[in-house]
Amino acid sequence: MKPVSSLFAKILSWFFLNLILVIAALSLFFAFQPQVDLHAIFGKQGSNRLRTAGMLISHDLNQTLPANWPDILARHSQIHQVDFALILEDGSRFFSKDMQLPEEITARVTGALQRSPHPGRFPPPSLIDDPPRHLKQHKVDGDDEFLKKITKKNPPLRAVELDQRPRLTMRTKHPTRYWTGIGIPVSPGPLRHPAPALLLAVSDSITGNGFFFDPLPWMIVAGTVILISVLFWIPMVKNITRPLTRMTRATEEIAKGRFDVAIHEPRGDEIGRLAKAINHMTSRLSDFVKGQKRFLGDVAHELGSPIARIQFGLGALEQRVQGDNRQRVVEVMEDVDHMSKLVNELLAFSRAEMKTRTILLETIDLLPVVQEAVKRENLPEVKIIANVDPEIRVVASAELLTRALANLIRNAVKYAGDAGAIYISAEKNKDEIAIEVRDTGPGVAEDLLDQLFEPFFRPEPSRDRNSGGVGLGLAIVKTCVETCQGTVSARNLNPKGFAVTITLKTL
């Protein structure tokens, strides 16, 4: 196998291709950001929001007396969905609602105000024109226009002061809150120069309900990257899972004893090699099983003639001996008879397998086949009840289906004949016919059900050699049914009983 064609190399190459694709998508995202105006699509970033809100609040505060400042902060708090606190250089504090400043926040605010520029550097309120009336109502969609109005009046001074003002970003616990601050100029009186102050925005959420940080742009970018990766990886995943699914189904059929399945995967990677290995294994298993059954058939055939001669000689000997010797001959004859039955079942098993490729299937009436099977195995002391609709027809071989049903009836009579009646029924389900043979006997251990149709398997202790059988009856049933392109299964009934179901196709 060439390294380039290996599955590992394909996955690794696919990964790097996906990485290149993501990098290219992100590069295009940032390259075309100015053209598509992502700022307008996604909204203002946290710093712009805080700066704009600070300038609006500063303007409103400078238009009224300090006694009204809490109301102004409360109004802006409703607009931006965060709480506001204003701390002046002289220690005065104003809040949008009742709150306490943690000690660490107080210390940071004090240090920030001490590092602020001299109050004289802030422009007086008269330098800022009175904004339009609709901006006094602080509509969010007017923030940009107002910001442009202010910066247009004093562009050099205002831009420098905004960048140099102290800022603060912290998180406090008990309760957990997030704080961010920006320096703004406020006028304690109408004729006084602006003094430095720190405006704090406070929220219980890390995003500040979108005021501190708007996660929407990054969520969209992350979602786009994930979507691109998923769409990119779907073909690779399908390229791996689909052949594995087909091979799983094929191996399930092989496990059922069907060796005529073949996997066609023209690939040079590990999956292709696995398909070839499964095909090779299937071919070898099929040869082994056929060789084993052919060997059993040949042995059984060769044993038939000597066993028949032994039976004939023992029969003649029985007529000539007396007393204890006669009893010994009878016991030997019983053993030979058991051996003869074993040989006959071996022949039936091997012949049923050998006919799988030459048998001709046809549509037949089910009821006559059931009646013939019952006739072969019926005993006066056993009650067999057949409930089959005369109109039901199946696609099968009459000879093989009769043999399969006869074996099932024989097993039921042998192992559960004393427990009650034996029932044979047939039910149509779409294009299939389910034929069921059930008894009221003790059943079989649940962990042995899957092995019942294996050759020479005898469950213990309810069904063993002492109760008859050599473990080929159900194996012959399975071979006959599968030759008719059907399936066979067994199950225990509740509270007692055992049932075998044959499923065949119908018209």
Tens digits of per-residue pLDDT, 489-501?
Answer: 999 998 889 999 9
Q: Which two tokens stand for residue 297?
A: 């058939």
Q: Which of 281, 282, 289 lies closest to 261 in space, CA to CA?
A: 282
Tell me: pLDDT of 37 over 60. Answer: no
DSSP state of 269: S
CA 489/CA 482 separation, integer angstroms: 11
- Strand 83-88 and strand 195-203: the pairing is antiparallel
Tell me where in the chain the CATH 1.10.287.130 domain(s) lie.
270-353
Tell me: pLDDT of 165 over 70. Answer: no
Better-scored residue on pLDDT, 3 or 335: 335
Tell me: pLDDT of 286 over 90. Answer: no
DSSP state of 127: G
Tell me: pLDDT of 150 over 70. Answer: no
CA 426/CA 389 separation, integer angstroms: 7
Q: Which two tokens stand for residue 251?
A: 């191996």
How would DSSP label each residue in 143-191?
HHHHHHHHHHHSHHHHHHHHHHS-EEEEEETTTTEEEEEEEEEE-SSTT
CA 107/CA 198 separation, integer angstroms: 13
Which pLDDT score is estimated for 439? 92
pLDDT bucket at 416, cuts 50 / 70 / 90: confident
Question: Three-state DSSP class for 89?
Answer: coil
Tell me the average pLDDT across 10-14.
78
Least confident of 25-34, 109-118, 478-487: 25-34
Q: Which two tokens stand for residue 306?
A: 């000597």
Tell me the average pLDDT across 63-91.
89
Highest-confidence segment of 127-131, 170-174, 267-271, 397-401: 397-401
pLDDT bucket at 119, cuts 50 / 70 / 90: very low
Tell me the average pLDDT across 430-458.
86
pLDDT bucket at 354, cuts 50 / 70 / 90: low
According to CATH, what is the number of the domain 270-353?
1.10.287.130
Q: How far is CA 115 from CA 112, 167, 196, 427, in A?
A: 5, 10, 10, 93
According to CATH, what is the number of the domain 358-505?
3.30.565.10
CA 233/CA 14 separation, integer angstroms: 8
Which pLDDT score is estimated for 462? 46
Chain-centre distance for alpha carbon 167: 50
pLDDT bucket at 5, cuts 50 / 70 / 90: low
Decide if 102 contacts 172 (C-beta within 8 A): yes
Reported as a single tens digit per residue, the pLDDT across 217-271 is 777 877 888 888 888 888 888 888 888 888 888 888 888 777 888 888 888 788 8
Which pLDDT score is estimated for 116? 57
CA 270/CA 252 separation, integer angstroms: 20
Decide if 457 contacts 447 (C-beta within 8 A): no
Q: Which long-range contacts (CB under 8 A, 24 or more apart) does 266-273 make?
A: 267/5, 267/243, 268/1, 268/2, 268/5, 269/1, 269/5, 269/6, 269/7, 269/10, 270/1, 270/6, 270/7, 270/8, 271/7, 271/240, 271/243, 271/244, 271/247, 273/1
Backbone region of residue 197 per phi and psi (left: phi > 0; alpha: psi in -120 to 50; beta: other values): beta
Which pLDDT score is estimated for 115? 66
Tell me the average pLDDT across 114-133.
44
Tell me: pLDDT of 125 over 50. Answer: no
Q: Which residue is listed with tokens 């390294």?
A: 3
CA 173/CA 356 separation, integer angstroms: 80
pTM for this entry = 0.49
Mean pLDDT of the chain: 77
Q: What share of the chain is helix, strand, coil (3-state, %, to 5)?
A: 55, 15, 30
Which pLDDT score is estimated for 393? 93
Better-scored residue on pLDDT, 129 or 165: 165
Better-scored residue on pLDDT, 489 or 192: 489
For the chain, what percent of residues have pLDDT higher than 70? Answer: 78
Which pLDDT score is estimated for 35? 52
Q: Which two tokens stand for residue 314?
A: 């023992």
Q: Which two tokens stand for residue 36?
A: 């598509």
Q: Which of 488, 484, 490, 477 lies closest to 505 in space, CA to CA?
A: 484
How many CB atoms sit inside 10 A of residue 183's CB?
Answer: 23
Tell me where in the chain the CATH 3.30.565.10 domain(s) lie.
358-505
Which pLDDT score is estimated for 255? 81
pLDDT bucket at 166, cuts 50 / 70 / 90: very low
Torsion angle (degrees, nearest 10) of CA 43, 48, 50, 55: -120
